[in-house]
Amino acid sequence: MFLVLSLIIYLTLNSIYDKETFNTMIHGFKDLNIAYIFIALFLTCLYFIIYGYYYSYTFKVFNVDVKLPKGIFYAMVEFYFSGITPSATGGQPVQMYYMTKDKIPIKNSYITLLINTLYFKIAIIVLGIFVLILKNDIILKFQPIHLGFLYFGLICDILFCILLLLLLFNRKLIKKCLELIFKFFKKLKVFKKYTDRDIDEILGDYKEDLNILINNKAKMNYSLFLVFILRIINFSIAYVVYKGLGLSGYSYFDLLAIQISVQLAIEMVPIPGGSYVSEKMFFYIFSIVFSTAFASLGMLMTRAFLFYIPIVVLGIIIFIYNIVNNIKDFF
């Protein structure tokens, strides 16, 4: 899968950057304020720290103790495996695998991960609607095809939220979903001691666990608030890159609106990391906001901090984590 992702990234960048564009981009690096690179890296790190805290906090609703470092690891796993699989489908099953290895009850991890996905979708839908209403001047500059992707993404996310609610409250669908997840892991020859167990036994009194969520509305609302913070941190990187290139004329909220629009458009695209579609949209939109000389560089740097750098770094961290834990299991 990582090789497929690498090929997609190579073909994407090769289709966007010709020799002249590449030379222009190299000259643009000279005008880059290094301090803003560190700010962007700080925001990227802050994203995973708060994401880790989100998991630690949310699991407390079920009286499951998840330390902050472990929460950060779960966040890394979600980002990495969602990033290398089409439509971000791989993150949650692999998270469930690691959570189960850490003795977290499957029914608790299932609910938490569904709520997490639902909250991320709710956040992008709400932010997207605000952009459409409040920043219409930015949206009017989009080409029809980009507007099409934007509205298509919004509709798909709303429909996906409905599906998630069904998967959360319909026990038959939950059971079917878990059967598919276990079947997948059984083929990989992992998770075996759990796939052979009766799913009804694993789910236990699932309704009681849902009632715990309903009775802890304040805590769950705070979890949703944390997700909004995560989304905004992520979407703020475009503005950091913009200022790092010494540009002005557009506000923080303009760049935030653009980043939200692009993310909304690509989230349901069945390509790992939304590659190609994301780059194409960034390149066109940044050509409007950034000066011509900085459009390519701005797009590349924004995508680097949002996707390329985390994917590479997290892939290495997860690889090392697995090696260390396999050695521990051996002894």
Q: In the chain, what are the domain boundaries? A: 2-330
What angle is formed at CA 91 by the lines to CA 132 and CA 87, rounded to 5 degrees? 45
Q: Which residues contact 179 (CB under 8 A, 6 or more apart)?
A: 199
User: pLDDT (tens digit, 0 to 9) for every residue of the chain, 331 residues total?
Assistant: 455 555 555 555 555 555 555 555 555 566 778 899 899 999 999 999 999 999 999 999 888 999 999 999 999 999 988 877 765 667 788 898 899 888 888 888 888 998 999 999 999 999 999 888 887 677 777 778 778 888 888 898 998 888 888 877 776 777 777 777 777 666 666 555 555 556 666 666 667 777 788 888 899 999 999 999 999 999 999 899 888 888 888 889 888 988 888 888 777 665 554 555 666 666 677 777 776 566 677 777 888 888 888 988 998 999 898 888 876 665 4
The tokens for 308 are 């390329």
pTM above 0.85, yes or no: no
Neighbours of 314 (CB within 10 A): 21
Where residue 104 falls (left for φ over 0; alpha for ψ -120 to 50; beta otherwise) is beta
The tokens for 281 are 């949209």
Is residue 76 within 8 A of residue 318, CB to CB? The reply is yes
Q: Length of the chain in residues, anyone?
A: 331
Residue 20: half-sphere exposure toward Cβ, Cα within 13 Å = 2
